[in-house]
Structure 1
Amino acid sequence: MAQPDSVHRLYGVPHSLYTGIARCYLRTQGIEYVELPTSHPDFAGRIMPVIQRSIIPVLETTGGEVVQDSLDIIDHFERQGVRYSAYPQGLLQSVLGVIITYYGTQALLPHAMHYRWTYRDRQEGFLRDQFAAGIGPEMADKVMSRMNSYLPQLGVTDHTIPEIEASFEQLLETLNAHFAEHPYLFGGRPSLADYGLIGPMFAHLGRDPVPENLMKTRAPKVFRWVERMTAPGLDTPEFPDYGDDVLPSDAIPETLEPLLRQVADEIFPMLTDKLAFLDNLVAEHQPEDGQPVSAKPHQRYVGAVETAFRGVPVQAGVQPYLLYVLRKADEMLAESPAEEQARVREALTVRGLVEALPGDRGYTVDRRNHIEVWQRG
């Protein structure tokens, strides 16, 4: 347990995808905090011994509680009550929010890392400045080289790069049309879907020079949404009479349907293949309940799978964390009446997204003592 403080502390850096999710949430809710880099002595001295690895974001609350992971930070404050809840009352909106969060935090990782590192020569000065500001100039080279080396396990290759770029341009076009009519994905306030999507769309794609310029010139409404998400409160002067709630009756905006089609087109078959890999891994090793998902706390990948992205064969690394994200959708459904479950499953089936629900596989992934572990039964 850390020591109590007068203000929440968020350990992270501006160019971090997952820190951006937590930062946007805190700013939207008007929660007072100070952001500190991992080079701050308290991170190594007090935080890392608690979380057992060097990872961000980490929230240190005013009461001394340590919360690691952007989604856990959101849920920490949701339990306390906030002005603009990230979880709509509509079950379909909430479940789709989880799936879009998976899309943003997992399926868009190749896009984020491709545009950052494949175009490194065109944005070297900016990247070096950002990494040095967070961890110091001596460590910047090492970390940048390590990040650059992750591209193959993310499926970023000469064969997939054309599809990754086509995917990003399609996403910009789709979101630009949506944000011309709505301030956020499901209406008048950000939901979990917005927070899941803002991670890559701010930290990498809306901030690094090459993709940021593409976003500004091709999709100015998307860039404005990025600004809106990173501003305090609800920054919606373009929508003075819209209101601050999600659409009623669990409605899905018509302008959002192209995004949902793109999500379905791009997360499969990769998600299906990764789940099958995890099924086989658990069946072979039979981990006990509470056993860490990897041999070392800092290891996020447990193997690789032969799969495809937009029809192009690719090998991609498998993170058990994907189950930690998607299990939220199953939990929401399990807590709902049978007729509501049936309605939502039908809506997902129509949109080609029902297979994004992991379902009961005899195991899932939990987080205990700040480490991802297998949950059995």
Structure 2
Amino acid sequence: MTLPRAGRTTAGMTKPVTLWGLPHSLYTGRARSYLRKQRIAYVERPPTDPEFASRVMPTIGRAIIPVVELADGTIIQDTVDIIDHFEREGTAQGPVPHPACPADARLLALAHLFELYAVDGLTRHAMHYRWSYLGEQEAFLRHAFATGSDASRAEATMGRMHSYLPMLGVDAATIPAIEESYHELLAALDAHFAVYQFLLGASPSIADYAMFGPLFAHLGRDPVPLAIMQREAPHVFRWVERMHAPDLDSVDYPTPAPEFPDDEVPETLAPLLAQIGRELIPDLTDRLTFLRDYVAQHQPKAGDPVTDRPHRRVIGTVETSFRDVAYTGGVQPYTFFLWQRLIDAGRHPEARALFAKHDLTAFIDIDLPIRVERRDQIEVWG
């Protein structure tokens, strides 16, 4: 069904969309950045507002942010669905001014690779630096989590978030590898952003919005990782500022801005792609083995929810590794939803050639035993 353009009412007047979210929320930051860059008028409201429980939660079936509510009452949950909607339907004024999905098949596949890495990789870094250093930044975090709430609810939410660390593979054994990875990532990103304003050229793509989530809300806002970023990677910090600005904020780059060459991605992306491959391929290989066994055992039916309750994120645990350090992590079907988007984009011959050149074919040269899709605000088996 084609949805009406956001912000257009039956009287022809425009009305801001509502962004249900919070300042310190990783995924809210991703959605907020997109709305700002596309000049989509919005009003941000916290999920503690009584209307969220009375009107929004009955539609999405769980307490989760961000959620975008259009002028006609249409509700869209999940940043992928939010961005896909506006990319497809445009705004009240017409097409979005800065399309986030590259037309170039190679860049589109890379964008989906960064999208997958941001969730399956950088969420670990973000959660580690937020909660493993709680003592050093407790006042800041308590203030953040009390936004739109109170101290007791903030305490409960913080405790729940902290409990997710083992599922994400954050423990005494992996923490040194996670911190090594963060410093390596900052160095590679800083070299790239010294030349290019955004990950894939002169305007932001879904790659930038995906990576912005963890690199803003946690790593570029919480005191401990923010200090590291400002000290070691000033170009990355400027990119974080740029992504949160309502325009392209490219005053520190030449005009016209440099574009990617027609026949290849720039050399500055090579270290980033190598790091993504090293960190994700072993993990995803183990998760794929788990999924194959799960499908063979449970025989899920197309259209069924991936979990028995909408708020549950995992369907089991897997023995895997991060940078050669073993850990036991939770298996989230959402990972396969994002991976399938990458596989679909990677079928293009030009994308396949690029991925082969950078030893990334393991990401696209496979078939998942079952698709994971988004329907009615939740993940379902495809």
Answer whether TM exceeds 0.5 for this pair: yes
Q: CA deviation at 1:200?
A: 0.3
Check the 8 A contact 1:18/1:199 in 2, yes or no.
yes
State the alpha-carbon separation in 2 of the partners of residues 312 and 95 from structure 1. Answer: 28
Match of 2:350 among 343, 346, 362: 343
Q: CA deviation at 1:105?
A: 1.7
Structure-1 residue corresponding to 2:292: 279
State the alpha-carbon separation in 2 of the partners of residues 63 and 253 from structure 1. Answer: 43
State the alpha-carbon separation in 1 of the partners of residues 372 and 341 from structure 2. Answer: 11
Aligned amino acid, residue 159 of structure 1: A
Check the 8 A contact 1:327/1:358 in 2, yes or no.
no
The within-5 A match list for 1:1-80 is: 6-80=15-89
Aligned amino acid, residue 352 of structure 2: R
Q: Closer, same or farther in 2 for the Cα pair 1:250/1:148, shift >3 Å?
A: farther
State the alpha-carbon separation in 2 of the partners of residues 330 and 370 from structure 1. Answer: 22
Match of 2:266 among 227, 242, 253: 253
Match of 2:133 among 116, 119, 128: 119
Could you tell me which runs of 5 or more consecutive residues in structure 1 were left unpaired when the two chains were aligned.
335-340
Aligned amino acid, residue 296 of structure 1: R
Check the 8 A contact 2:198/2:204 in 1, yes or no.
yes
Structure-2 residue corresponding to 1:331: 344
State the alpha-carbon separation in 2 of the partners of residues 106 and 58 from structure 1. Answer: 21
Q: CA deviation at 1:231?
A: 0.5
Given the alignment of the two structures, is residue 136 of structure 1 paired with residue 147 of structure 2, yes or no? Answer: no
Aligned amino acid, residue 221 of structure 2: R
Q: SS of 2:304's equivalent? A: coil
Aligned amino acid, residue 323 of structure 1: F
State the alpha-carbon separation in 2 of the partners of residues 246 and 282 from structure 1. Answer: 44
Check the 8 A contact 2:87/2:99 in 1, yes or no.
yes
Q: CA deviation at 1:352?
A: 2.2
Match of 1:200 among 214, 239, 252: 214
Identical pairs, percent = 48
Q: How many correspondences in the alignment?
A: 367
Check the 8 A contact 2:137/2:223 in 1, yes or no.
yes
Q: SS of 1:15's equivalent? A: coil
State the alpha-carbon separation in 2 of the partners of residues 84 and 73 from structure 1. Answer: 15
Structure-1 residue corresponding to 2:326: 313
Check the 8 A contact 1:308/1:314 in 2, yes or no.
yes
Return the TM-score normalized by structure 1.
Answer: 0.94
Aligned amino acid, residue 32 of structure 2: R
Could you tell me which runs of 5 or more consecutive residues in structure 2 were left unpaired when the two chains were aligned.
90-94
State the alpha-carbon separation in 2 of the partners of residues 246 and 37 from structure 1. Answer: 39
- Computed over aligned residues only, the root mean square deviation of the Cα atoms, in angstroms, reads 1.7
Check the 8 A contact 2:102/2:205 in 1, yes or no.
yes
Q: Closer, same or farther in 2 for the Cα pair 1:221/1:184, shift >3 Å?
A: same
State the alpha-carbon separation in 2 of the partners of residues 295 and 58 from structure 1. Answer: 22
Aligned amino acid, residue 368 of structure 2: R
Q: CA deviation at 1:129?
A: 0.4
Given the alignment of the two structures, is residue 216 of structure 1 paired with residue 223 of structure 2, yes or no? Answer: no
Check the 8 A contact 1:183/1:239 in 2, yes or no.
yes
Q: SS of 2:146's equivalent? A: helix
Check the 8 A contact 2:340/2:368 in 1, yes or no.
no
Q: CA deviation at 1:331?
A: 3.0
Q: Closer, same or farther in 2 for the Cα pair 1:209/1:82, shift >3 Å?
A: same
Check the 8 A contact 1:17/1:200 in 2, yes or no.
yes
